[in-house]
Chains A and B, each alone.
Chain A
Amino acid sequence: MSNIRFEQIEGKSLGFYTLITGLWILILAALGSVYYVEHYGHFVTGMNNRIVWGIPHVFALFLIIAASGALNVASISSVFNKKLYKSLSRLSGLVALSLLAGGLMVLVLDLGRIDRLIVAMTEYNFKSIFAWNIILYNGFFVVVAIYLWMMFERRMDKFSHKVGLVAFSWRLILTTGTGSIFGFLVARQAYDAVIMAPMFIIMSFSFGLASFILILMASYKWTNRPLGNIIVNRLRNLLGVFVAAVMYFVAVYHLGNLYLAENAGIENFILFDGGIYTKLFWYGQIILGGIVPMVLIYHPFTKGDRSMLGLSSVLIIIGGFVQLYVIIIGGQAYPMELFPGKEILEGYGDIAQYLVSLPEIFLGIGGIALAIIIVTFLVKFLAFLPESLEDDLTDSYHKG
């Protein structure tokens, strides 16, 4: 293991500066959108009193759960002692922190009163899962930062197993907390289910790894560093298992809901007659984000092709966004069951409408841009990436 050489990237090429400039433009566009919404009020967004969490929440939650999933690669190395993954641990920690920062930026800037952030940090209702999540998110930064320190500092390496264990447990609790934001909402048929927590955990495994793979492949390609097949194939297989597991949980969630008569309405809505939400569920989440990536990952014709793995990762990410859109927006669009056994003729009970607005989209994309810019800058200034991940080296780590 001692022969892994971590090196900063040079970061002087035209491509590097173009990337940084592009990302800055996206971040500035997001901040401009926030100013616009704050100045005029949230009436300029697509949200209303029924759809209170719009597309920014889809972006924010995607980034937050992908963040905890991105840490898995490091966990596999230090918690489960898989040496092959040790070379990727630093990047794994960095991607995790960056994605979380991007997600939190979107979440915070979507608040009605951003200026009261200090209130959110000083007033805690410990009964609120949301308040717990604020602690879990901030704690994640601290835990992963310490974890990275253990990895960077040779003398501290002996502690990395224990700190890794803490980080791994923390990320599981964090995603449980994020899933529970929905899982404990008793009022809404789409949410009130304990399975939301484990489902969010497995979603985080999948979305986080897909994001990690893309960042890994892009950084090695753009810096002309060797990236061997051994490590890529390992990640590919892992990704396949995670996608299958997400689909399994989605199936159990919907079948379980169908079994309960009280949830027949919402299930019909999502699975059969929910218009855009049904289309997004089947075409976006299941086919594009689940079945196609699985085929690309496991089919003999595409299995060894690295660009197909990239495509699978992109599709899994798109599918993940769609899945969160269906959960968050679809779950709100469907009316709550106010009067069981009765039909509401007027005043409530219609399907709520939501039209995504540009400022909301810019804000969400700004979160992704922030995550990528943090990774790009830090790999230039600190030695996160191994100089080489070619097969000869990784093979020896694996055996060693």
Chain B
Amino acid sequence: MTGRVRRQRGESALGAIAVLALALYALFIVTPVLMSAWKSLTDENPLLAHARFVGVSNYTDMLHDDALKSSLTFTLVTALAVTAVANAAGIGFALLLNKTSLSYRVMRTVAFLPQVLSGVIVGFVWRYILAQDGVLNHLLLSTGLIGRPVTWLGSPHLAMFSVGLVAAWVLTGFTTVVHLAALQSVPVELYQAATVDGAGRWARFRRITLPMVAPGTTISVTISLITTLKLYDIIAALTSGGPANSTQSTALYIINLAFTDDRFGYASAVAMLLLVVSAAIALTVTGLLRRREVDL
């Protein structure tokens, strides 16, 4: 068999795999999105066999939906705050763990653990930690830092903070690993040369580390944002969206609309809105960060 024939067969096999991948993508991603787009133009109810075409009325209804507005506000604020905190912490941890010894490798694995845990498990674990008589309050009370239990999940503002804290904890595992991978590709010679030139720690971090890990930061920030914008499982287990819907993310609101309020059509319209908002934010942020990579 000639090399040319082998190459042709290899390319054909790759083509077939690509076709399969595209078919799967079309089946599991494109089709549901298209179906959701269609349903958003109907008054579909999960209990009824037939739905009516209602045009864009689901979309115009969103303009007067206060619950949607507050869920979007909560989602956007949480996404921005969690992304900022998780990425700052990720860079910090990555700098600390950027060593080659066994103990550091073990610590890296530990740092990544939250990311591999199911969101539901994370939610339940943190519910025990943050409960009125939970681990955190016991700890703070026993050390005398507080005089009475803090209602971490029982007051709207603290519950919002708690959800953000838990989401940031989970994402920090991911951002640490991404930044660590980026850090390990920075040539040591750059630091050595900078040190010879008299650059201090901050200058080395600002002028070498940040620019060199910038591509990793772009990926990390974008994925953190997208993950937080569709946050559902952690919230469902931690607060169920309460108290008083203060931690109801848009994803949780969509589920409630569909399965509690029986408004599949409207829920689909809100899902389309979330899709567009997420895509717009992701594209904008990616564009800005790529431009920043060049500037750095």
Is B a genuine binding partner of A?
A: no
* Chain A residues packing against B (C-beta within 8 Å): none
* Chain B residues packing against A (C-beta within 8 Å): none
